[in-house]
Amino acid sequence: MPADPGTTGVDLDAAVTFGPALAALNAARSVTILCHVQPDADTIGSGLALALVLHRRGIPVWVSFAEPAELPATMRTLPGVRHLVRPVDVPAEVDLLITVDCGSVGRLGALADRLAGARTTLVLDHHRSNTRFGAINVVDASAESTTSLVAGLLDAWQVAIDAEVAHCLYAGLVTDTGSFRWVRPGTHQLAERLLATGIDGAEITRSLMDTHPFDWLPMLSRVLGTARLESAVHGGVGLAYVFVRRGDVAGVRSEEVESVIDIVRTTAEAGVAAVFKESRTIDDRWTVSLRSRDSGPGVRDGVDVSEVATALGGGGHRYAAGYTTHGRLEDVVSALLTVLG
């Protein structure tokens, strides 16, 4: 039964329209869905939800991401993982290529070359810094997750959301909202609607966000021991940051490394938090995660870290962003301090 748009809980930006996207989906005889490198549950959940729907309609569909080689373990129980293929198995030519949760071409990594072999391309995303690199762009920076946007797309397409699709959508919703910390009107309504399909929200959240192997604890001890506070940054807003060295993360999953920023960002004396992560394989390559908040001691209007990350070659959201850079650690830190001012 078609969903009533008035009861979905999906409250989209008025400027977002699904017409061209639906026309492309209805016309497609084959579809590739690309998730971003170092995938999270929002990009994978969005990709697999769409793949489940397309597969049921008899459309050949491939879902992939360029790196790393393996899907993070926490996401392997998501429905639809059978549609995931290795990058080498993504066809060179396809009717429709969809990117999910990717703010720029760079987020596709080595799979960016597949854009050229697609008859048309559709960008589905909620990053403020999105560069609109598709032929069709459905970008809603006010959406709390790309899976929320996919829910709105499925409603507009009049496709019912069953438990398998709901599981995928909920995975992105719960992780991108930080377990429903960063919400807006409609977020809980969408969550309720997904939970009403019978999915186990508590178990999905526990496995995605609240379970770490024991090695997480000594890793945290080493990494948090590097913490520094720069109180004068950005007119007194302050920056708290830590370093994750290659030697700190041997045998630790990417999920554990990505959890560090959620601890650093709770620092009361800093409106901005950063984690400098050393590449496991390439010397002097650093991936930097940034977070900010708009209230708190000494924090007035908050810092738009999307702008900061974009200035340093990355992108993201107003309060959560990141970039990759090269150089000696002290130079990488001072580059960030310079941009923050």
Nearest to 163 by CA among 126, 204, 135, 221: 204
CB of 146 to Mn ion, least distance (A): 5
Distances in whole angstroms, Cα of residue 53 to Cα of each of 12, 59, 158, 339: 21, 9, 11, 43
CB of 337 to Mn ion, least distance (A): 27
Does 101 bind Mn ion (CB under 5 A)? Our answer is yes
CB of 296 to Mn ion, least distance (A): 24
Does 230 bind Mn ion (CB under 5 A)? Our answer is no
CB of 61 to Mn ion, least distance (A): 21
Residue 272, H or E segment: strand 272-278
**How far is the C-alpha of 2 from the C-alpha of 9, rounded, in Å?**
15
| String of DSSP letters for 298-309 | T-SS---HHHHH
Selected range binding Mn ion among 60-68, 150-158, 172-180, 322-330, rule: CB under 5 A: 172-180
Q: Which of 28, 39, 42, 238 binds Mn ion (CB under 5 A)?
A: 42
H and E: helices and strands count for the chain: 12, 11
CB of 182 to Mn ion, least distance (A): 11
* Three-state SS at 94: strand
**How would you classify the pairing of strands 285-292 and 320-326?**
antiparallel
Of 94 and 209, nearer to Mn ion (C-beta) is: 209
Q: How many residues bind Mn ion (CB under 5 A)?
A: 4
CB of 42 to Mn ion, least distance (A): 3
- How far from the centroid of its chain's Cα atoms is residue 281's Cα? 23
Selected range binding Mn ion among 100-108, 162-170, 242-250, 317-325, rule: CB under 5 A: 100-108
Nearest to 45 by CA among 136, 149, 180: 149
Q: Provide the 8-state DSSP code for 17.
A: -
Selected range binding Mn ion among 36-44, 64-72, 295-303, 331-339, rule: CB under 5 A: 36-44
Of 21 and 237, nearer to Mn ion (C-beta) is: 21
Does 176 bind Mn ion (CB under 5 A)? Our answer is yes
Does 140 bind Mn ion (CB under 5 A)? Our answer is no
Q: By the criterion CB under 5 A, which residues form the site for Mn ion?
A: 42, 101, 146, 176
